[in-house]
Structure 1
Amino acid sequence: MDIRFLVTFMEVAETRHFGKAAENLYLTQSAVSARIKQLEEYFNSALFVRNRNSLQLTVAGEKLLPYAETLAKTLNKARQALSDENVQQLTIACTTNAWDLHLKQQLTPLKTAFPEVAIKADVLTNEQLMRMVHEHAIDLAVTTIPFKSDDVETIELCASSLALYYSSKLSAETAKSQFIHIEWGKNTVSL
């Protein structure tokens, strides 16, 4: 069983709302529902009583909650103990745009500056990146779209200028009359 299912269960139990739990975990509401359903199938018990305007733990849910909390704490301690090993590892994840703009050029200088540190780099979607940050599964996130979270410290690494190009086959008059749509992550501009 994936520990994230138990973390999801604990968040739903705390918020008493699938939508709020999904928002707090940076998941979709359907992902939260699917995880709870899988837990219920695994334990062969309903964990929540779903009423029109309320969500309550069942007796089975009440029994599972302290075990879920203990398991989550134990696994976090294990992760922390393993990170205290002699080999230091820096886990970095970024979005595709951040990789192209910044990170792929910086990995070699970073490794040269810190040869004793093992560096692991992944390219993820912004949603996956946000979830990994909040689960403390990565040390550093690099993205072109800042996170909206009080739990995350955001530092601007660089600024990039964008330039617009068009084919020389277009006449100047045609180019002026065309609709231009620029998509850069969630910040989209129409000209």
Structure 2
Amino acid sequence: MEKELENMSKLADDIVLTEQNERKLFIAYKKRIESQRRKKVLMRGYYRVAVVALAMMIMFSVNYYLQSPDLVVYAATGDKMVQLRLNERVNLEKQRTPLGYGYVLEMSVEEGSRYYTIENEQNLNADNIFRNGNKIFWMPDGMNSINFRDQDGNVIKIPETDSSTLNIEVCNYDGKMVERITLILERRDGQCSVEMLKK
């Protein structure tokens, strides 16, 4: 074993670098280290940009989904009005309305804006929904009273329903649509509820 070590040590003596070769090796090594440093700095920059872009995307998407709508809807739950939040179901309590017993919602928009209900086939059982100013009355039990007549004097009959859908658009002072929401009114197992969805 010692002989092998001795033989190898002689080889080390035989390897001699000239000053020019040392300089070439040093310059090549220095370039490689500088290149690695530049790559690390560049990668750090890419990571920072990616993190900032991801944070901005998350911020915008959270802002979009949690953004409070321009139209604020309140639901009557007993003796108090509760503000509806997007995608949240709120149980309603029967109230005395000008049309009889039903469920009451109240609308509020920012100053200078206005809202209106959309009359189209997307509204489900909209015959059971009535509007008076900022109040909306939902009458799921229907109406069959001699007190309610049309212009010709015919008694208005509205059938019962377990669900109604109402689409509402909010416009700014220029008449440009700002947002569109849908109110889903449902009755399940005798309990009525409302849910507000944004389109």
Question: TM-score of the superposition, structure 2-length normalised?
Answer: 0.19
Pair member with larger Rg: 2
The structure with the largest strand share of the pair is 2
